[in-house]
Amino acid sequence: MIGVLALQGAFVEHVSIYGGLHVKTKLVRLPEHLDDIDGLLLPGGESTAISLLARRWGLIEPIRAWINSGKPIWGTCAGMILLANKLTGKMKEGQEIFGGLDATVYRNYFGSQLGSFSAELESTLEGHDHTKYKAVFIRAPAIVQHGPSLEILATVRPKRTSKEAESEAELHDAIVAARQNNILVTSFHPELTHDTCWHEYFLHMVFAATTSQ
């Protein structure tokens, strides 16, 4: 069973996609909702609001424990921000994050809501022709630095110029999907397309984890 964090954001869309794949889901709003699920999905939304609500409902430490235990977790857009060990870019002071991903994530890397766009991915995801996959980016983050254990799954060419970039790294292809052991992150919104390959990829992660126990 896949648990979908349902504090704020696009959790309904993820539930709908997994329903179409005949996969059981459970809305996670309290710590006890983590007890009988096999994988946890953190949806896109407002990362600051999600972290504040997670603190209010006592989910910060349980989700950190979930991550540290090696159980599968997938963060999309805001979820990527919350799973990073370090953030850069504009942010509110004191935002809590779950951490776990050995990476620095740049919030709103591609700009504001007006800068939302779709793009074809350059991806190493197995079993799918991503030359035909268009990802939807909405105030999306990107990974700008990472450790050696991170596996890059998809990149996209940024639209920044040398004058707009704050570092040389921002002029190269932006990392928009990656995996580190039990942690999967995507800066785009797979729930807003009809292509279910990323949801299926996470299912494979969950299946592999449960069968190895």
For 195, the 3-state DSSP assignment is coil
Give the contacts of 211 (CB within 8 A, at least 6 positions apart).
none
Query: Which pTM was predicted?
Result: 0.90
For residues 14-25, average pLDDT: 96
Is pLDDT of 94 > 80? no
Q: Tell me which CATH homologous superfamily contains domain 2-211.
A: Class I glutamine amidotransferase (GATase) domain (3.40.50.880)
Q: How far apart are CA 130 and CA 19, in angstroms?
A: 23
Q: Annotated active-site positions, please?
A: 77, 189, 191
Mean pLDDT score of the chain: 87
What residue ranges do the domains of the chain occupy? Answer: 2-211
Q: List Cα–Cα distances, 77 to 58, 153, 187, 193, 210, in angstroms.
A: 22, 15, 4, 14, 26
- Indicate the pLDDT class of residue 110, thresholds 50, 70 and 90: confident
Q: List Cα–Cα distances, 198 to 111, 124, 130, 179, in angstroms.
A: 24, 12, 11, 12
Higher pLDDT, 161 or 8: 8
